[in-house]
Amino acid sequence: MNHEAVRSISSPDVDWIGTVDSSRYGQYFDCGMLLIFGGIPWQAYFQRVLSSKSASRAQLLSFVAAFGCVIMAVPSVLIGAVAIATDWNMTAYDKFPLPWDDPTVEGGAAMILPMVLQYLTPAYVSFCGLGAVSAATMSSADSSVLGASSMFARNVYRLIFRPRASEHEIMWVMKVSIFVTGTLATIMALSVPSIYALWYLCSDLVYVILFPQLLMVVHFKRYCNTYGSVASYVIGLLVRLSGGEYLIGLPALIHFPGYTDLPVIPGREHEIAPFEQLFPFRTLAMLLSLISVVFFSYLSRTIFESGRLPAKYDFLRCVINIPEDAVPVEEPHEGEMAVMSTMEVRHYSATDERNGRVNPALNLGSDSDDDLNDASETGAANRIRRLSKSGPSAQRLINRKLSLGKMTPTPSSTPPITSDAKGAVDKTSVL
């Protein structure tokens, strides 16, 4: 701001704030909602949440980070204001018009930061600034690659293909996954016209698809199941893609209110005609996805629990055809995380691991068959009590296990659970 080419941003001749046309209110609202709620389901954020010692600590850090984001937005605003207040004819820059004023330049606003650092700051400041940007980019990239590889190794390979895989095997799978993920990311970076556009579309998909499901699973899990989640995923994805994305060459299949055709950029006549959607269609897709979770979850429960479809058609096994080793996960206490295994619910308290020992939450399997058998026998009474509070489908599961001899009731729970014609459960048999 002390450079001789930079005028004072408080000068009435410098309009660095600008104005917003009323036709773009919906577009700004859409982008604002995307920034507010679309950043919540990101893997990078939940890596920090899951590494917290307790739930209250994670909440506190999240609120602090929210205010921190507002504070960290101030330098970006100032850099943009300085770029507008600069007389670029007095600098070494000689390519006019400016990138952010040239309609033929795609993403010209992204050049503001490097131009301000290069032409308006000393060489050492420019070097440190661009190095910091590069370091932040590489940090985000390796964090994303590591997160994707870790999720594949533990949530896919271990839970689905190799439940008894050792930690050594999981580490090797993770290393191979890092190599494969990095290779695919490199190929994508070389083949996609704009990485910024791809990142932009990815943010949209996180907001449209993941946020509604995260909201329902965390706060309203009684009103959602796997069928509603799958339907929500498909509907949200289709509605968002139907809105199109010009930056990656995706045409708009639906012209929402406010759809506008833009002038064709010279030299790019062979590409799809540029356009923009002024209607907040991303938020519309998010709301449709949210409604779909609730509606299809309710519909699937109604169809299966009323007997209109037999249990064998519950192929996702989440309504009445529940696996026999499934146990509802109870709400953890303060400072405690609950982890679901195939035979028991394990609780991990952060206060028990102060010396850097391995987090038991990462051990989703058991290394000993004796441990599994012990857990199965000693946890029978607790399972009955947990399942007795989980609704009619869980009650039928208890009765089926008791009748087949796969669950032995405790002496205090002698008769099987009974229910009347309306599905009311007699809980005296399990209390």
Arithmetic mean of pLDDT, 21-33? 90
- pTM greater than 0.85 (yes/no): no
Which pLDDT does position 228 carry in this prediction? Answer: 93
Higher pLDDT, 407 or 106: 106
Residue 205, pLDDT > 70, answer: yes
Which pLDDT does position 327 carry in this prediction? Answer: 53
CB atoms within 10 A of CB 42: 15
**Would you give the DSSP letter of residue 261?**
E
* Residues above pLDDT 70, as percent of the chain: 71
CB 34 within 8 A of CB 203: yes
Arithmetic mean of pLDDT, 156-163? 85
CA distance 341 to 350: 19
* CA-to-CA separations, 386 to 162, 320, 323, 328, 339, in angstroms, rounded: 28, 16, 15, 7, 15
CA angle centred on 358, ends 352 and 359, rounded to 5°: 60
Arithmetic mean of pLDDT, 75-83? 89
Arithmetic mean of pLDDT, 337-362? 44
Which residues are paired to 346 by β-bridges?
339
Strands, E assignment, 254-366: 259-261, 275-277, 336-340, 345-349
Arithmetic mean of pLDDT, 390-417? 54
Q: Residue 283 CA to chain centroid, in angstroms? A: 16
Which pLDDT does position 391 carry in this prediction? Answer: 53
- pLDDT per residue as tens digits for the range 47-69: 788 788 888 898 898 889 888 88
- pLDDT per residue as tens digits for the range 174-186: 999 999 998 988 8
Provide the 3-class DSSP secondary structure of residue 259.
strand
- pLDDT per residue as tens digits for the range 217-229: 988 988 999 999 9
Bridge pairing between strands 336-340 and 345-349: antiparallel
CA distance 223 to 277: 33
* CA-to-CA separations, 103 to 193, 233, 264, in angstroms, rounded: 18, 36, 10
CA distance 327 to 339: 11
- pLDDT per residue as tens digits for the range 228-256: 999 999 999 999 999 988 877 788 899 99
Looking up tokens 């509070």, which residue turns up? 389
CA distance 234 to 297: 14
* CA-to-CA separations, 313 to 120, 233, 304, 323, in angstroms, rounded: 67, 21, 9, 14
